[in-house]
């Protein structure tokens, strides 16, 4: 059994997951960093992390990895569910397959990973599960409906699971960042999206894209992955972590606005930002 705290971090080959894996490693945790990018996994391995290839939607692979960790260390002390995929577009044009893929990655996979580590945590009477959500799970805007749906689902998963497993000494925390400067984030604003002339949402999406691109350049609109990682590690190392953490000034402002205005007023505010 390892005297170190053992952490399993998914989505560790980029963005928040990668920053969190490195930060936990520097703080003395024994980190299993899981992801799908072979070169990034090699880089993690070179820095002393235990890098593992993992598709979080592969149930058998998840079971094997947790069994490997349990066999060597007795249990996972900390699970950070950070793997995910981006999405954009209007709901009418989303296929059921696309929505299922998002749901599998953002809701079903974190649930299955939690189920896999919980027996060991319960046996020890301790453990921490951190789910990386988004302010998009708290504030719903246009042209990102499917992403909002799954991030809202992750919110419910975190709060429900937290209430169920607290009796065993297991803490569940949700971390909701605002926009984060990751390859996904930068890629969306670098790409110029084009829409067919007969697309009924083409003009709407073009205005949305221009609005988001403009907002992304404002000071404080986006934060670094390292900023989120600091909050994640602070929650893990806290004796009594909060159920939810919102990271980033713009995210906190959005959540406050959501609490202060009606649904109708919030929709007007969001659409007015697009010139509607």
Would you please indicate which residues are annotated as catalytic (active-site) residues? 147
**Of 44, 42, 54, 55, which Cα lies nearest the Cα of 18?**
44
Is residue 195 within 8 Å of 205, Cβ to Cβ?
yes
Contact call for residues 7 and 80 (beta carbons, < 8 A): yes
Please answer whether residues 182 and 225 qualify as being in contact, where contact means their C-beta atoms are separated by less than 8 angstroms.
yes
Q: What are the structure tokens assigned to 212, written together?
A: 């988001």
Q: Taking Cα atoms as reference points, which of 58, 54, 47 lies closest to residue 24?
A: 47
CB 163 within 8 A of CB 108: no
Per DSSP, 5 falls in state P
* DSSP single-letter state for residue 10: S
| Chain centroid to CA 33 | 15
Q: What span, in angstroms and rounded, lies between the C-alpha atoms of 9 and 57?
A: 15
Distance separating alpha carbons of residues 247 and 108, to the nearest angstrom: 24
Phi, psi at 206, each rounded to 5°: -65, -40
Tell me the C-alpha distance between 151 and 226, whole Å: 21
What is the residue whose two structure tokens read 């793997």? Answer: 83
């Amino acid at each position: 059994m390892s005297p170190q705290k053992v952490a399993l971090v998914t989505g560790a080959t980029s963005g928040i997951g990668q920053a969190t894996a490195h930060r936990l490693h520097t703080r003395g945790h024994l980190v299993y960093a899981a992801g799908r990018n072979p070169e990034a996994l090699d880089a993690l391995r070179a820095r002393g992390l235990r890098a593992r290839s993992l598709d979080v939607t592969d149930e058998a692979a998840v079971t094997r990895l947790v069994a490997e960790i349990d066999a060597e260390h007795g249990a996972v002390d900390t699970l950070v569910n950070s793997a995910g995929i981006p999405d954009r577009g209007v709901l009418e044009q989303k296929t059921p397959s696309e929505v299922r893929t998002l749901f599998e990655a953002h809701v079903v996979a974190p649930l299955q990973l939690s189920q896999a580590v919980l027996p060991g945590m319960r046996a020890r009477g301790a453990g921490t599960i951190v789910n990386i959500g988004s302010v998009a799970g708290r504030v719903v805007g246009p042209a990102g409906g499917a992403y909002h749906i799954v991030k809202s689902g992750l919110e419910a998963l975190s709060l429900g699971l937290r209430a169920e497993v607290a009796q065993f000494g297991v803490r569940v925390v949700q971390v909701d960042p605002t926009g984060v400067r990751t390859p996904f984030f930068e890629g969306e604003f670098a790409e110029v999206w084009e829409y067919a002339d007969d697309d009924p949402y083409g003009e709407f999406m073009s205005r949305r894209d221009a609005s988001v691109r403009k907002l992304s350049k404002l000071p404080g609109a986006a934060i670094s992955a390292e900023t989120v990682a600091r909050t994640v590690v602070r929650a893990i190392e806290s004796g009594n972590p909060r159920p939810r953490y919102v990271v980033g000034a713009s995210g906190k402002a959005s959540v406050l606005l959501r609490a202060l205005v009606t649904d109708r007023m919030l929709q007007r505010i969001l659409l007015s930002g697009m010139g509607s």
